[in-house]
Amino acid sequence: MRWLYRLVIYLMICTLAGGAFAVFYAVRKQPAATLVFKAPLDQPLTETILAGRLKVLRKRFRLGFYRVERQGDELLVRVRSPLDPKPLAEMLGKTLATELRLVAELPATGAVSIGEDQVILYENRLFTSTSRIGEDVIRRVGYVARKAPELVLRRFKSVRYQTKAIARKPMITLELLPDDRERFARLTEANIGKRLAIVLNGEVITAPQIQEPLRDGRASICGIPTREVAEELAGLMQLGALDAPLVLLEIRREAK
């Protein structure tokens, strides 16, 4: 029986080794690209933030490999992915600061006119289906807001992703830093009854109505469409924002 046991162990090792080789080969077959950014002199956390963003975004952009390194006055982001690297480069180069904006929801139908100092933003809002019990649907909801945000949040004391005990829906809880907490309290106190949108990367995450002054510096984001979206948002917000956008110098594609 000992020989049979050894045979089983041998076959298991071969299977694992074969699987690992298949994954390695699949990654090596993916197109490689190097995203070249101008390295900022006054942003010491840039490389850490970029590496964190790549980890958070790896599923969306199907990254089989990624690495960040500095060479002189350039930041090189090496990636392997079957997708076009340009959208990834644009995402990495943004500051991705979280914005708080007072908004008004647009009507579902009819033409809308906005002023020169206003902008239209959209939210992918989760609704309970009226035709299929127990199912949710995602609808695009528009808002009008001023071009300049009321408050810009670059760092948080804490960002946590969790699942609500009731209905098992994903949510994110935020705790602001002391300076931002005071400004957030003044903003909510002066605008009770209005909608306050939390905006990241030009998209409204949520836009609840301010019911009372929020002085403890805590907020919750509910109604997020999927767990994957919630995890990505929480990851990006936890990393914090760049102090300024990165300048993309070029995208070098590896010859096939």
In the structure, what pLDDT confidence band is assigned to residue 247 with cuts at 50, 70 and 90? very high
Summarize pLDDT for 121-170 with one digit per residue, the tens. 998 877 665 555 556 677 888 899 989 999 999 999 999 988 765 566 78
Average pLDDT, the chain: 84
Q: Torsion-angle region of residue 143: left (phi > 0), alpha (psi -120 to 50) or beta?
A: beta
Helix 227-239 and helix 46-57: axis angle, to 10°? Answer: 180
Question: 75-95 as b/e, with b when 16 or more CB fall inside 10 Å?
Answer: bbbbbbbeeebeebbebbbee
Point out the least confidently predicted range of 140-154, 160-174, 182-196, 237-251: 160-174
Q: Are 224 and 236 contacting, i.e. CB atoms less than 8 angstroms apart?
A: no
Q: Please give the average per-residue pLDDT across 71-98, as a whole number.
A: 95
Q: Which position has the higher pLDDT, 163 or 116?
A: 116
CATH for 98-239 is: 3.30.1360.200
Domain coordinates of the chain in residue numbers? 31-95+242-253, 98-239
pLDDT in tens, 5-55: 555 565 565 555 444 333 333 444 578 999 999 998 888 889 999 999 999
Q: Does residue 118 surpass a pLDDT of 80?
A: yes
- pTM of full prediction above 0.85: no
The token pair at 242 is: 């760049």
What fold is seen in the domain 31-95+242-253?
Alpha-Beta Plaits (3.30.70)
Give the pLDDT score at 222: 82
